[in-house]
Amino acid sequence: MNDEAKAVLKRVYGYDTFRKGQEEIIGGIMGGRDTLAILPTGGGKSVCYQIPSLLLRGTTLVISPLISLMKDQVDALRRVGVPAAYLNSSLGAAEYREVMRSALSGDYKLLYVAPERLDAPMFQSLSEQLEIPLIAIDEAHCVSQWGHDFRPSYRQLAGWIGRMSNRPLVAAFTATATNEVARDISDMLKLREPNVFVTGFARPNLSLSVVTGVDKKSFLHKYVAERKEQSGIIYAATRKEVENVHEQLLKSGVQAGKYHGGLSDTERADTQERFRFDDIRVMVATNAFGMGIDKPNVRYVLHWQMTGDIESYYQEAGRAGRDGEESECVLLFEPADMQVQRFLIEQGTGDDERKTIQLSKLHMMMNFSRTQRCLQQFIVDYFGETGVGACGKCSSCLDKSEPVNRTEEAKMALSCVGRMKGRFGVTMAAKVLKGSRDKRLLEFGLDRLTTYGLMRHLPEKEIADWLYWLVAEGYLRLSEGQYPVVSLTANALPVLEGRETIMQRVRSTVRQASTADLAASSPLFEALRSWRKERAAAEGVPPFMLFFDATIREIANIRPSSAEQLLAIKGIGSAKADKYGEELLEIIQPFLGEGEAGSSSGKQGPTQTDNGSGQGAAARPAAGESGEQPSHHLTLAMFQEGREPADIAAERGLGKVTVEGHLIRCADEGMDIDYGRIIPAEHEPLIMAAIEKVGVEKLRPIKDELPEDVSYFSIHGVISKYGLKK
């Protein structure tokens, strides 16, 4: 059965191998077991139920609350030859009836349904007549009151499934579930001895950052300006802040859209489509936006304010980099964010139990915003995953500032909280330490505490921030409920007794998210992107529906010259090769034989290809040989003087990838070059072993076999040194 699944993966989706966990999940479903699968956002959940649906008889039902995502997935399936449809409130009466008629005729392999539709008499009749081998429940955390996005409509699922005369297999999928939520999902849906798969919560392609103490407006303008060619989402907590940020961006010349519940359905739908089609690059939105946006090329997500819980933050941040490419997630945090989120919870419609749960989650989110631990590690720990090492690239991991001994200040704060005997909150504790003459403080006689005024040299806001940091680090705890009080934990005792020191990093400058690596794109890559945009516009679909950026980049790097070579590229299955192959090969043809192939990410090196004369393209006479030194010769001369490629690139105003391509070209032309400066001695045997294993036809498989620090430049160096391409 696994061979059949792999064949479908290649034929329909264009991929040779499954992502982590997919094969096991599909195997479990095909083996007849109910399933609960927890995969990170972007981890490929949909493939786990789409492939079984193509292998099983009948029509698989997919329950999803996300209307726009249904449309995206159905459109994508139809484009690769899979018959699919959806039933939700976006359909008119005539469209709804037409889908129902086709479903009854068995025309679909997948039928997406909103949970609210299940009790409709028309659908009840349909479900009784359909052959349903599998019910896949997406966003399954919505069934749990302990989840961050509880939806009452999901509570009817178990009853509805239980009433079916011939109960099918049930598979539940989610990206964000703690152990408690996972158990609740299984219980609420009455899964029968389910296989439970947790593939891990880490997203290695995301760089997480928490930024504090900056002028947010200045940070925003600089950050977006540095990424003007990239798609990004900026999340704000309220409609007012969305309007504020949107106006700031428009004033600075950024074509941005906005999305929140105060806009009309037409306005929201129009803006959403413009973003999906890359007509606008930046979207400013409340969390109402994005739940169903399957846009793979979002390169950054910036949170203007802290979210109400870690699940929401990670789900929203996870909308960056769904294509697996490197992406950034930045949280601009201020202590006042806590009050905004508390207000939103208190004004919400949930009952007291639900609000207590939400407030507890809010306190954990605050701890995340203040921690100095690895941010990725903090998140996976929250979801119950252990043993994950530090990511090495979040703002905490990259913070090189020196820690400062704050043990005495910690003793003052902890002693004060201890003397207040767990009866007051952080704000009152800060007032006592400040020596405030607040009326309530005096009424309670707190000015008579020995700790009164011990930190009067600091602003009250800074004292409160210090107390919250002690909460985040586990020396203090906040109670649950709408008015949490602060108290000591067991960890405070060694500090108060002088047996433990407290060190805190105090940043002299606030770390800003690093500028994205935007190396110059190759002409072929740009030509392919232009074609994709025009072709997508003609078909009325977003560009990513044709091909992801990663696929376009690999085409530009490999430069396939036949349909067979096209099919070897990740993301190109038979349906897309049949539909677009001829056009792609026509675009590539003029570029065959060129010696320099860059990539939009700067990660791909030059490619040597035969130009049909038996010589590599690099052997052609260079323009300017009548007296002017060819560009790549000048690069080699500078390299031979001892300069590094990055320095040469800076001095000549070229991309580093272009400079590296010049040097490989010179080597291929037979010029003397010091390969030792291109190929680290310890990397050469590793590269040779990888080439022996996967060949030299494609660079990406070689790179995938090697440690991350082995560069494409070194790989090309080995290929050139030993004449392997020829």
Q: What is the pLDDT of residue 442?
A: 95
Q: What is the pLDDT of residue 610?
A: 32
In this structure, the answer to whether residues 144 and 262 fall within a common structural domain is no
CA 200-287-197 angle, 5° bins: 20
The Cα–Cα gap between 299 and 320 comes to 5
Instruction: For residue 22, give the CATH number of its domain.
Output: 3.40.50.300
Give the number of other Cβ atoms within 10 Å of residue 334's Cβ: 18
Last residue of a domain, one of 463, 480, 505: 505
What backbone phi and psi angles, to 5 degrees, belong to 233? Answer: -120, 135
Instruction: Print the domain residue range for 548.
Output: 517-592
In this structure, the answer to whether residues 221 and 173 fall within a common structural domain is no
Are 120 and 156 contacting, i.e. CB atoms less than 8 angstroms apart?
A: no
- The residues facing 333 across adjacent strands are 212
In this structure, the answer to whether residues 445 and 538 fall within a common structural domain is no
Q: What is the pLDDT of residue 596?
A: 39
Q: What is the pLDDT of residue 84?
A: 94
Q: Confirm whether 609 is domain-assigned.
A: no
In this structure, the answer to whether residues 273 and 394 fall within a common structural domain is yes
Q: In 3D, which of 608, 722, 590 has the Cα closest to residue 662?
A: 608
Low pLDDT (below 50) residues in the chain? 291, 507-520, 595-627, 726
Q: What is the pLDDT of residue 438?
A: 92
The alpha carbon of 52 is separated from its chain's Cα centroid by a whole number of angstroms, namely 26
Q: Confirm whether 73 is domain-assigned.
A: yes
Give the number of other Cβ atoms within 10 Å of residue 58's Cβ: 15
Instruction: For residue 443, give the CATH number of its domain.
Output: 1.10.10.10
Instruction: For residue 521, give the CATH number of its domain.
Output: 1.10.150.80
What backbone phi and psi angles, to 5 degrees, belong to 722? Answer: -105, 5
In this structure, the answer to whether residues 387 and 411 fall within a common structural domain is no
Q: What is the pLDDT of residue 653?
A: 67
Instruction: For residue 661, give the CATH number of its domain.
Output: 1.10.10
Last residue of a domain, one of 592, 624, 647: 592
Are 307 and 341 contacting, i.e. CB atoms less than 8 angstroms apart?
A: yes
Which residue stretches of 277-374 are H helix?
310-317, 336-346, 352-370
Q: Confirm whether 463 is domain-assigned.
A: yes
- The residues facing 404 across adjacent strands are 504
Q: Confirm whether 383 is domain-assigned.
A: yes
Could you identify the residue written with the tokens 């990670």? 314
In this structure, the answer to whether residues 149 and 292 fall within a common structural domain is no
Q: Confirm whether 600 is domain-assigned.
A: no
- Domain tally, the chain: 5
DSSP string, 549-560: HHHHHHHHHH--
Q: What is the pLDDT of residue 600?
A: 34
DSSP string, 605-668: -----B-SSSSBGGGSPPTTTTTSPPHHHHHHHHHHTT--HHHHHHHHT--HHHHHHHHHHHHH
The Cα–Cα gap between 722 and 165 comes to 67
Question: Rounded to whole angstroms, what are the CA distances from 251 to 158, 228, 537?
Answer: 51, 15, 29
In this structure, the answer to whether residues 575 and 639 fall within a common structural domain is no
Q: Confirm whether 682 is domain-assigned.
A: yes
In this structure, the answer to whether residues 242 and 176 fall within a common structural domain is no
Which residue stretches of 260-326 are H helix?
265-276, 310-317
In this structure, the answer to whether residues 175 and 130 fall within a common structural domain is yes
* Antiparallel, parallel or unpaired: β 403-405 and 503-505: antiparallel
In this structure, the answer to whether residues 675 and 641 fall within a common structural domain is yes
Are 393 and 515 contacting, i.e. CB atoms less than 8 angstroms apart?
A: no
Last residue of a domain, one of 465, 483, 505: 505
- The residues facing 328 across adjacent strands are 207, 300
Q: Could you report the per-residue pLDDT of 283-330, keeping only the tens digit for each? A: 999 876 654 566 888 999 999 998 888 988 998 898 898 888 889 999
Q: Could you report the per-residue pLDDT of 26-64, keeping only the tens digit for each? A: 999 999 999 999 887 766 888 999 999 999 999 999 998
In this structure, the answer to whether residues 138 and 172 fall within a common structural domain is yes
In this structure, the answer to whether residues 42 and 182 fall within a common structural domain is yes
Give the number of other Cβ atoms within 10 Å of residue 718's Cβ: 23
Q: Confirm whether 604 is domain-assigned.
A: no
Q: Confirm whether 434 is domain-assigned.
A: yes
What backbone phi and psi angles, to 5 degrees, belong to 566? Answer: -60, -45
Q: What is the pLDDT of residue 26?
A: 93
